[in-house]
Structure 1
Amino acid sequence: MEAESPLEQSLQTVGMFGRAQFIIILVGVIVQIYIGWPSIVSVFVAIDVDFQCVNDTLDDANITKFDNECVNGCEYYVYRSTPSSMVSDFDLACGNGPTLVSTANSAFWAGFMLSCLFMGTLADMFGRRTVSLFTCFIYCIASSLLPFIQNIYEFIAMRFVCGMFHYPLTCVVFILVAEWVDKEKFGKIGMSTAVVFGLGEALAALMGYLLRDSWRIQLGAMTCFLVLVLILIFFFLPESAKWLYQTGHIHECEKVMRKVSRINGTNFHGMIHSETNSDHRPITNGSQHDSSADEMSNIFVSRSEPSSPVSYHYDASEKLIPTLDPQVIKASTTIEEKEKPNVKALFGTRSSCFLMLTNLFTFFSSCMVYFGLAFGVSSISGNIYFNSALLALVELPAWFVVLSMDYVGRKPTLLFCLLVCSIACTCIPITNQYVPSLSIVIAMVGKLLATGAFDLLFVYIPEQSPTVLRTTGLSICSGAARIGTIIGPYVIQAGSISDYIPYGFFALCGYISFVLCVFFQVETLNRGMPQTIEQYYLLVQNKRRLRIEEPTSDDDCDRDI
């Protein structure tokens, strides 16, 4: 019989899927819709515009046709008046212009990647809501300056700054929402909030079309949406009760839970009592209790791990020790000697190191293919706004594709998405050459499965990571993903040489990710999120379902981890 921590029992009393959770999830959905907009806004504010070289032999007033040819030594270029684009405003059609446009796309994700290195840690230190509010406020200021820039270099710099403060909306808010939802419903809800990212991309295409006469107004409208997001976070997203409890803020945790309880209409009279140390953190050391059952319960739910995985003061340790190899014991002891675990703990054993490297590369390849297909929409024949909306909306069925993760498991679903997406990328250049009309269909299939893999990872990674490093784990994986997003525009630009170069590279990375996941990925279906570093090592070491035997007052019983 599985013992629950005081926090888990209190959360069940408060309600883990009531009206308050509905509001929290709704805010998470709106945030996800927004973050899709700035992710691809450069496609529309830097849309290609017809141009013509003008020199002494040609008067720009007499131009009726545009040949779109770059000429060495051209005096200057004249652009068609519509659609409005910074390509025409900043004269980016030729020379280094195309590379600067690609850099503008990449700069946003370079800032995002830099943010991943420390924003997740800040969220684990100071709270999910605090970091989200502060960074979103700075983001609003930076975004409001975008419509007033006067050259491409200012645009690149400001997009970099915006990317830095875009991260908390993508990952930290997602973790905050996840920690307020019942674990059994987290998979579907997490996928629901992630899949609507495509609605944000479709919104970007719609606003790009409606506001095509002014790319600056497009950026202004995007900022207005961001202000709405800031307001929603401030008024409707409470701090994570799990984070407050694990970091010792017991009184604040109880206060937040009372508010949620009132909204849910439940009777919450206060936290179930448990002993705390001088820092007001829940005690997990078995020496503080005489009951071995209480000791084991605290060990598996608290933020502070026992001093050693072999130092339990009861007979169950004899049954627990064989499940840990010496490497795990050594890593656990080293980490637990420190007051606060850091990112090194995620790589503490050989198995956990291989798992994290697999997650990093899989996130990298999935994100590169995802945004590579989005940024490459201009190379597909047809209306760019319609094609962009089509590629965005095709992400919505990804929710149905990954529903199987709750039936066949996370790992098989991820493997299916990676394999089929890689096959689609292999076929795109072939269909471009022999059946051009089929290319958009193949691209849609690739985008659909890339979305499935990308969104599934946002559910998968938090389920693997321990509570004290959950945001940090997702952050560094998201940072690896941004490397893929940064190089994606340049890889697509190589398509001017041959379509086989970008899509062949996408396919190769997908196949490598598939093989890595086959050997090193772990299954998390029907397994609780690890609370401690030790539980994380147990999860990684035992890729199949792990059972730890624990004695009761009468006889032994099994506990699933």
Structure 2
Amino acid sequence: MSMISARIERLPFSRFHIHLLLMGGLGYMFDAMDAAVIAFILPVVRTAWNLTAVQTGVLGSSTFVGFLFGALLAGTLGDLIGRRAVMMSALALYCAASLVSATVDSWPSFFAARVVAGMGTGAESAIIAPYLAEFVARRYRGSFTGALAGFFSFGFVAAALLGYFIVPAYENGWRVVLVLTAIPVVMLLWWRRSLPESPRWLESRGREKEAEAVLDKIEASFARSGHALPQPVAEAIAPPVPAGTLAANFASLLAGRQARITTMTWIMWLSITFSYYSFFVWIPGLLVQNGMSITKSFGYSLTMYCAQVPGYFSAAWFNERIGRQATIATYMLFGGVSALGLAFASSDSAIMTAGILLSFFMNGTYAGVYAYTAEVFPTPIRTTGAGLASAIGRIGAIVSPILVGYLYPNFGFAGVFGVTTTVLLIGALTVVLMGVPTRGRSLEEIAASEAA
């Protein structure tokens, strides 16, 4: 461990970290609002534009097409030009494209605008957790990153509230919702100007003086608040391979033992993202087609979305108690059981109960996934690895709404959630069998153990 990392590891959890948590978490909240609001808009625009089931499914995938390219670009650029610049640019892109999507009058134009907005949210989602995890000591990194991901739940609940109260209430309520999801981002952009670049990334690029300057400023804030920091202790760990070019970074992901970790993250992300969006993009529309009114469907969906909050934050707590692998696998397994319950539910109360459990466990899985992905790659290729894993996961988000559009008319709820359960089981087994323990280990120790 270098002296830069040792200085970070000695920092106690403080106001500085709460500031990071809020700024990163609010970004995730707006990302989730953007992803979730499409589920409440689809039933309305489907009727207004006389869309077929396939066209509706394509629109449902639009944001996730953008997610794929945004995550991939953010990851590669984050390791080359810095985490902070990518995160700020991504947020600005989302804001502009979301406002444009509120003004269009045809589904192809809406699709295009949502793809661009998705690029912004996908880029930010991929960069926030790896970026902020590099500021956090090992003893609370899992809980911190899990809680960071927990802000997604607030975005989904906010989107459900907008969908419940505004979409049905006005003729162009869906346009109003899209504007409301974009405007607060401008304030967040202004607030984030004070964010520093990651010292660990600066060091990996040979910019030690800049890394030391960032830490000097952080440590000065501790001194002003009366915190006496212990002496940093550098561990005897071999330094990571220096950061390289774009091609070299991609090659490093599939070199030696790192290839197993990289493959594991791909399968983990693909399985949870496919299963998650099979459920959440289509559930309001499926409930409507099953005989509920739009208002009642949105009310059910809102209750299910609220279950995300304890799901995320309970998993964040378990990240440090039982480890990331155990948390991810356990929540995936219980998510699969809940999906089966939803598939065979025959009453409104049974649908509600199973939906709440499914929302709790599948969202809780993400608290483990985001924390784990930010840890298993070395600093020089951390955002490249995390971005690529997130991008591959978005393939599941792109495919799942279209596949549900085919499965539901032919196989009903049982077909949709039967497939979901199978995919979740595959993901859980992959994490357990191919993953590595990260709890209580520094980022440098994890990287060195895989490079050995």
> TM-score, normalization: structure 2?
0.88
The amino acid of 1:517's aligned partner reads V
* Residue of structure 1 in register with 2:250 after alignment: 343
The alignment-based identity, stated in percent, is 21
The amino acid of 1:483's aligned partner reads I
Equivalent residues of 1:19, 1:263 under 8 A apart: no
* Residue of structure 2 in register with 1:492 after alignment: 404
Which residue of 198, 220, 225 maps to 1:240? 198
* Residue of structure 2 in register with 1:257 after alignment: 215
The amino acid of 1:355's aligned partner reads I
Look up the SS of the partner of 1:304 in the other structure: coil
2:35 counterpart of 1:6? no
Look up the SS of the partner of 1:413 in the other structure: helix
Question: 1:479: how far off?
Answer: 1.2
Residues 522 and 203 (structure 1), Cα distance of their counterparts in 2 relative to 1, 3 Å cut: same
Residues 135 and 375 (structure 1), Cα distance of their counterparts in 2 relative to 1, 3 Å cut: closer
* Residue of structure 1 in register with 2:125 after alignment: 170
* Residue of structure 1 in register with 2:385 after alignment: 473
Matching of residues 289-328 of structure 1 within 5 Å: 297=236, 300-301=238-239, 304=242
The amino acid of 1:367's aligned partner reads T
The amino acid of 1:481's aligned partner reads G
* Residue of structure 2 in register with 1:421 after alignment: 335
Count of residue pairs the alignment pairs up: 434
Q: CA RMSD for the aligned pairs?
A: 2.8
Question: 1:482: how far off?
Answer: 0.6
Matching of residues 142-541 of structure 1 within 5 Å: 142-212=97-167, 213=170, 214-234=173-193, 236-265=194-223, 297=236, 300-301=238-239, 304=242, 341-349=248-256, 351-378=257-284, 379-380=286-287, 381=292, 383-398=296-311, 399-432=313-346, 435=347, 437-493=349-405, 494-498=407-411, 499-530=413-444, 534-538=448-452
Deviation track 1:339-393 (CA, whole Å, cap 9, x = no partner) reads 98412222212x5433332321221111122222212322235712222221211
Deviation track 1:57-114 (CA, whole Å, cap 9, x = no partner) reads xxxxxxxxxxxxxxxxxxxxxxxxxxxx33344233xxx3x32222112011111112
Question: 1:511: how far off?
Answer: 1.8
> TM-score, normalization: structure 1?
0.72
2:86 counterpart of 1:131? yes
Deviates more, 1:415-424 or 1:401-410: 401-410
Q: Quote the Cα distance in structure 2 between the aligned partners of 1:249 and 1:353.
A: 28
Equivalent residues of 2:62, 2:115 under 8 A apart: yes
The amino acid of 2:329's aligned partner reads L
Q: Quote the Cα distance in structure 2 between the aligned partners of 1:523 and 1:533.
A: 11
Residues 532 and 463 (structure 1), Cα distance of their counterparts in 2 relative to 1, 3 Å cut: closer
Q: 5+ unaligned residues in a row in structure 1: which ranges? A: 48-84, 274-292, 306-335, 539-561
The amino acid of 2:32's aligned partner reads G
Q: Quote the Cα distance in structure 1 between the aligned partners of 2:91 and 2:37.
A: 18
Which residue of 77, 88, 93 maps to 1:122? 77
Q: Quote the Cα distance in structure 2 between the aligned partners of 1:211 and 1:424.
A: 30
The amino acid of 1:23's aligned partner reads H
Deviation track 1:266-301 (CA, whole Å, cap 9, x = no partner) reads 599xxx99xxxxxxxxxxxxxxxxxxx99x84x624
The amino acid of 2:250's aligned partner reads V
Q: Which has the higher contact order (CA 8 A, sep 6+)?
A: 2
Deviates more, 1:373-382 or 1:482-491: 373-382
Equivalent residues of 1:410, 1:460 under 8 A apart: yes
Question: 1:7: how far off?
Answer: 0.8
Deviation track 1:419-446 (CA, whole Å, cap 9, x = no partner) reads 22222222322224xx553122112212
* Residue of structure 2 in register with 1:19 after alignment: 15
Deviation track 1:380-413 (CA, whole Å, cap 9, x = no partner) reads 3571222222121111122224523322222222
- Structure having the higher helix fraction is 2
Residues 345 and 262 (structure 1), Cα distance of their counterparts in 2 relative to 1, 3 Å cut: same
Q: Quote the Cα distance in structure 2 between the aligned partners of 1:525 and 1:173.
A: 20
Deviation track 1:502-543 (CA, whole Å, cap 9, x = no partner) reads 1111111112223333322222222222379654334xxxxx
